[in-house]
Amino acid sequence: MPAYLASLNPGWLLIVAGVIALFVKVRVVRQAISIIAPVIGILMLATAQHGVDHMTYETLGIKLSFYRVDSLNFLFGLAFLIAALLNAIYALHTDNKTQDGMALAYAGSAIAATFAGDLMTLFIFWEITAITSVFMVLQAGTRASYFASMRYLGIQILSGVLLLDGIAYVWHYQGDLSLQAFSDLNQPGALIIFIAFGIKAAFPFLHNWLQDAYPKATVTGAVVLSAFTTKLAVYAFARLFPGQHELIWIGAVMTCFPVFFAVIENDLRKVLAYSTNNQVGFMICAIGVGTPLALNGAVAHAFADILFKGLLFMSMGAVLYRTGTTKANELGGLYRSMPWTTLFCLVGAISISAMPLFSAFVTKSMILSSVASTGMVVVWLMLMFASAGVLEHSGIKIPYFAFFGHDSGKRVKEAPFNMLLAMGMAAFLCIAIGLPAFLPGFGYEWLYSLLPYPIEAASYQPFTLGHILAQLQLLALAVFAFVLLQRLGLYPPEKPGVILDTDWLYRKAGYGTARWIDTVWAKLGPAMTATFRTLSERAYDRLVDTFSPRGVLARNGVSGGMAVWTTVILGVVLLVSYLTS
């Protein structure tokens, strides 16, 4: 790898490749670009020098650092590059220039933001992620996807505007835009930046853009979206707000509330959208704890989540591609005709459920252990409840109602080979990083070796009897509850419907306000318009009558006298100024 490439932000490479892909008409060439760019990006990152600012520029007194790799952002960048590669392979069966190009540019902007060395550079690529990602929803081409994409874009732009506002406060009061962690939310600009990050992380009451947009995205678009936006926000919180106590409770609530919505939701891609809230909540809670073990857990779990959540979205995308739906009441029995997709979905489901020997077991256990060490029993119990809920809605519900359950009678082809290849690669990684180190450099120890803080074998081990038994008991209890509720007919039935979320409050209020304004304007508008027109015409006539060449001032000799006296006064003022200078 040439030295100049090792000092170049790989995100820039993907952005340029994405722009080129937008204009390449030959499908094979475009797809080759989409695959080769992430591979080169991984090589560039592997050879990058850590702790050094590359691509630095200064403008308007602001020092910009476009590429800085350290122990915190390395794993995020690596996960984003792997996701970009898997997404490109998954999309090989499509022929959509806009989607291919924007997906690559979206991944590149998230990577570039992750390796930004200052707040202004972070903001620039933060906004590019918003603009490029909206095409993942818009390209679905439906009326629902259009309105969802516009709402999504508005929310993402709002996040960027708040981030810029907070940066302005930081620059004004500190004169420095380096990525220094805030000690508390009372620092100038800290709270505004906190809210900006919270929007992108889908905090409670700020989360509805996620459930609104992801299920309406294209087959490939939902997979792409699942990897970058919320994980970029997780990185930003880990960088600027580690140990912020408020994040503990926010994260704990994030893990719990999606469980109730996901269990009753009929659209399985929307279930996965709620699951995204749930998993990000674990990461946010760990960042709030702020200990080395907790931050390691947040970073490791983000890495694992990008893989297993992407795998689950891939499997549901394959189902949507072949059957035209991901509604649970319309699916079932697909294991007969889509056996490989079923297998890969089960791997993703077991991984997200933190089954021993799968990825989330070695990452989530760090988070649970770090929370337990704080003595916050209520928070720990909330996370344990949420862990059981994950198995209910993502570990059991997704594969059960899609591939098993009642037989829908659908007999379709297996997913295209490229889809299976991408799912197989993701499934392999989900298993590989969850295994003990049977071979040198293989298993969870590889992941642990790349974490921000060193983990000594004597201080923490995931494969202890206590960890294994506790997790197996939790999973067994969740499975028993699901089976019992199914047998008793108490499990929420899968049926069409609209699940009201908290966005109903402001969307209902906003719609009602708009209707009221429209009604009032319909009644008062014509009269107000006529009144304004009459008053403006009278004012215009009065001005013409006064100031025109034939107006009152021109007919009166006073105007000439006033001009003479104005000249005299001006001369006196100039004379006095000259004599006293």
What does 339-390 look like in DSSP terms, one character per residue? HHHHHHHHHHHHHHTT-TTSHHHHHHHHHHHHHHHHT-HHHHHHHHHHHHHH
Contact 225, 310 (CB under 8 A): no
What pLDDT shows up at residue 532? 79
Task: Give the Cα-Cα-Cα angle 437, 442, 446 (nearest 5 degrees).
Answer: 90
Higher pLDDT among residues 512 and 239, named by residue: 239
Residue 62 forms beta bridges with which residues?
59
Residue 62, classed as helix, strand or coil, is strand
Q: Write out the DSSP string of 206-275.
A: S-HHHHHHGGGS-HHHHHHHHHHHHHHHHHHHHHH-TT-THHHHHHHHHHHHHHHHHHH--BHHHHHHHH
Q: Which residues pair with 53 in a beta bridge?
A: 68
Range scoring the smallest mean pLDDT among 22-26, 211-215, 516-520, 546-550: 546-550
Cβ atoms of residues 9 and 66 within 8 Å: yes
- The Cα–Cα gap between 556 and 94 comes to 81
Tens-digit pLDDT profile for residues 168-194: 999 999 888 989 899 889 899 999 999
> Residue 438 has which token pair?
């049977």
Percent of the chain with pLDDT over 70: 92
Lowest mean pLDDT among 1-5, 272-276, 417-421: 1-5
Through-space distance between the first and last CA atoms of the chain, rounded to whole angstroms: 71
pLDDT confidence bin for 441, thresholds 50/70/90: low
Q: How large is the average pLDDT for residues 121-144?
A: 95
> With 60 as the cut, is the pLDDT of residue 557 above it?
no
> Structure tokens of 421?
């290849």
Average pLDDT of every residue of the chain: 89
Three-class secondary structure of residue 181 per DSSP: coil
Cβ count within 10 A of residue 416: 16
Minimal CA–CA distance to 79: which of 233, 408, 300? 300
Tokens representing 73 are: 């952002």
User: How would residue 556 be classed by pLDDT, with cut points 50, 70 and 90?
Assistant: low
Inform me whether the pLDDT recorded for 148 exceeds 60.
Answer: yes
pLDDT at residue 197 greater than cutoff 90: yes
Crossing angle of helices 359-374 and 339-352, in 10° steps, is: 20
Render pLDDT for 287-328 as a digit per residue (tens, 0 to 9).
Answer: 999 999 999 999 999 999 999 999 999 999 999 999 999 999
- Other Cβ atoms within 10 Å of 321 Cβ, number: 19
Domain boundaries, the chain: 242-454+461-497, 502-546, 548-581
Residue 146 near residue 217, CB atoms below 8 Å = no
Does the structure show a pLDDT above 80 at 244?
Answer: yes
Is the Cα dihedral 349, 351, 355, 357 positive or negative? positive
Give the pLDDT mean for 542-546. Answer: 67
DSSP state of 335: G
Q: How confident is the model at residue 538 (pLDDT cuts 50, 70, 90)?
A: confident
CA 325 to CA 80: how far, in whole Å? 28
Is pLDDT of 2 > 70? no
What count of other Cβ atoms lies within 10 Å of the Cβ of residue 385?
14
pTM: 0.87
The type of residue at 140 is A
Is residue 571 classed exposed, middle or buried when 0-12, 13-18 and 19+ CB atoms within 10 A define those classes?
A: exposed
Q: Is 528 helix (H, G, I), strand (E, B) or coil?
A: helix
Residue whose structure tokens are 């204009």 = 23
